[in-house]
Structure formats: C-alpha cells, structure tokens
Amino acid sequence: MNHPKIAFIGAGSVVFTQGLLADLFALPELTGAHIALHDIDPGRLSTAHAAATYIAEQRRAKHATITAHPERREALAAADFVIDIVQIGMGEATRTDFDVPARHGLRQTIGDTLGIGGIFRALRTFPFLKALGEDMSELCPDAWLLNYTNPMAMNVQYVTAATGLTRVVGLCHSVYWTMQDLAHLVDVPYEEITYRAAGVNHQAWVLRFEHEGRDLYPALDELIASDDQLRRRVRMDMYRRLGHYPTETSEHSSEYVPWYLHHDSEIERLRLPIGAYLGIVEENTAEYDRTREALAAGKPLTVEGTMEYAPQIIHSITTGTSRTVYGNVPNHGLIDNLPAHGVVEVPCLVDAAGIQPTRIGALPPQLAALNRTYLSTADLVVRAALEDEPRHIRHAAMTDPATAATLPVERIWDLCDDMVRAHGDRLQPGLRALLGS
C-alpha cells in the first residue's frame, strides 16, 4: 500500500491540526503517511511541526514523515490530499467582522457562515482559494481538497467555479455531533440509531431519526413538551415549527433566519449569546499559547481524537474501506428543489473510487425555502468575486435574512462600505469600491 502525502494548509491552526493528526495516526494504515505542514506564520508553523512530531511518537507512528514548509508550493508538490484549515486575517479580521456591524446595530453570534461576518470572511478568503486551486492544478492535479474553512458553502462553490477543481469536498462536524446529542437526549446509544440529514452547511435537516425501525421524533417531542428549558433553544423552536431538526447549534442557527436576533425578547427567551465567537477566538489563542509553552518546556500534550471526517476519508480512499460521511458538494441534482449550482450537505459514500454523494430527492418545501434563501445569499457573494462586481456584495447583504430584518437598505449599503474600508487590501482589488447608500 502506498503511503499518502497529506498537505495541511494553515497548519498553524495548531489545536485543530493536533486533533486531525491524532485521528490519522490512530488508523494503522496511515501511520506511514507523509504529513507536509504549511503556514505563513513561522512561529505557528514551528509549533505545529513540534506538535505533529510529538503526536506521531505518542501514536507510535514511527514510519511517518513530517515536514514543515514556509512555502505552500513545497507542501503541495505531489500531495494526495490537501486539508485547508486557513483563516485569513485571523482574530483581528474576526473582531472587525463583529465590531463594525455592531456599530450599525447589527447583532451576530458566530458570524462565519452567512450575515455580514460570513460575507466578508468569504470575500477575504477567495483570493487565497484561487491561488491554492491554481497551485493544486499544477502540482497535485489528482489530489482531493478537503476544506474545513468557513463559510463552507461559499468557499466550495467559489473554488470549484474559479479553478475548475472537481475533487473538492467541504467537511464539517455538525451533523455528527447533532446526532450524538439527539441520541443522548432520547437515551438511545448513538451506535444504534439510523439517520439521514440533508440541506446546506449549518442548516441541514434531520430527515430520518430512528432506532430499530422506530421513529425517534415522537420521543423528542415528549421531552420538549415536558422541559421548558429545552424549549428555550433556537433549534428546538425551529424544529417545533418546521417539523425537522436543524444540524447546527442554536447560536449558529439564529443567524440564518430573520426571526430571532432583531428582537430583544427573543434573545432573552432563547438565551442567545451575542458575539459568542469572539470568546471562542480568545480561547483558541490561549490554547495555542498553552500548546507552544508545553512543547517548549518538554511537558506532555493531551492527544485526543476528534472523529473528524478528513482522516476517515483519507483512510477509505487509500485502503478501499467503505464509509459514509457527510460532505458539502455542488448540488448538480442531489437535492431537487435547491439550485443546481449551490453547495449542499448530503451523505457521501467514500471508498477507493473517491467521494460519491447521495441523491436525496426533494426536501420538504418549508426546509427548501429556507435553504434557497441561504444559497441565494451565498451565490451573490461568489458572483461578486467571479464577476468582480462590488454591487453584488450589497445585493448579498440585502438578501441575508438577519441583516435585512435589522437594517433599512441604505444602512446596509453604508455598512458594506464600512466593511470594505475595514478589510482593505484583504479583498480583491475590484471589490474595494465604495458605493454609498
């Protein structure tokens, strides 16, 4: 068996890199893999290299090759798999995504998928994705791009349209952990449930939830009816009204619809933490600092698996072991009542033939209606970059549910101008125009 070369682009996201490597090296067939680490930050790259070497030793992956590359092209050369975990602008850009909209009265909780935060996170990521795709087309044209970088649907749609890459899948743990949580709630072991989910990233829907052929939704209904604290969660509220459970947290889910963040009473009723992601950013930075200090002092690191999909996909393609994972891929008829060019999240069979998405058919109409709005916003952001059309940035913000529910249209345009000013040269040149209200 050939040992794959796996390039980690953005390996300086050290905590996430550690978790993926712990999963990879827990699979015996991958303990001889070549791990090529790249990051533009020398300090983070050095820390990632030291952490990867430590994890390989702990997992007894003595045949693994671990290399660190300040230059991306070196890491990509002859790679079989490319894992994208890049965050353009890091914490500074994330704070901008929250602070500038807040001055306009716009509330966000996570800001990485839709909304003003998601729109501008995408726009500053697209130039990197185009360069990455062009490098891959030259240096590793047969490699699979496994993207973890948000906003997932926008990034996957853009990189496939802008570069022509076809071996691309976006990966997210939301379906897996949602089903773990639901199984726990109804007191059935996760290993015994049968489920199917589909939709778009962070707004997919649990279409099937069963145990030995028995529908488990009635058990969930009973719990919700008897527990007023459960009813104080956004996705429980959405489930009660829409009939299917959404696959992301309440903090995330509140941002993709117009009903919650604009209303003080709903924020209180549903206990929504405004600006929650800024706390996550601070904790990630603190965790990185702890890891760096532990490695420098020769102290042990905690090596824990994460159950992420990328190591499972690499193992399945490398060994021919069949698995089902959830992936984000261009629709192309997988979900009948969503746009063909949009990116959808569906179960995918993975084996030696690669990643093969499952055709779902039609979603219930109320679910498809929400997903279509999401994909409309995403499409306008992608078109802004592909067509170098700054007006489409404003059009995307106008269609975004939470933004449109909060601000009049002239304020939306003013906000977009302020965000363009704030992010400056992180955007492609043609999108830096200020258009006014």
Nearest CA to 82 out of 26, 131, 22 is that of 131
C-alpha–C-alpha distance, residues 96 and 91, integer Å: 9
CB atoms within 10 A of CB 339: 17
CB atoms within 10 A of CB 2: 8
Annotation marks residue 202 as catalytic: no
CB 7 within 8 A of CB 83: yes
C-alpha–C-alpha distance, residues 187 and 265, integer Å: 32
- Which DSSP helix (H) or strand (E) runs through 346? strand 343-351
Is residue 301 helix, strand or coil? coil
Nearest CA to 247 out of 351, 374, 108 is that of 374
Is residue 317 helix, strand or coil? helix
CB 80 within 8 A of CB 63: no
Cis peptide before 330 (omega within 30 of 0): no
Q: Is 238 exposed, middle or buried (0-12, 13-18, 19+ CB in 10 A)?
A: buried
Here the contacts of 177-185 (C-beta below 8 Å, separation 24 or greater) are: 178/206, 178/245, 178/246, 178/247, 178/248, 179/206, 179/209, 182/206, 182/209, 182/216, 182/220, 182/245, 185/220, 185/223
Which residues lie across from 66 on neighbouring strands?
Answer: 35
C-alpha–C-alpha distance, residues 351 and 356, integer Å: 8
Distance of CA 99 to the CA centre of its chain: 22
Question: Could you say which of 3, 34, 173, 263 is catalytic?
Answer: 173
Catalytic residues: 173
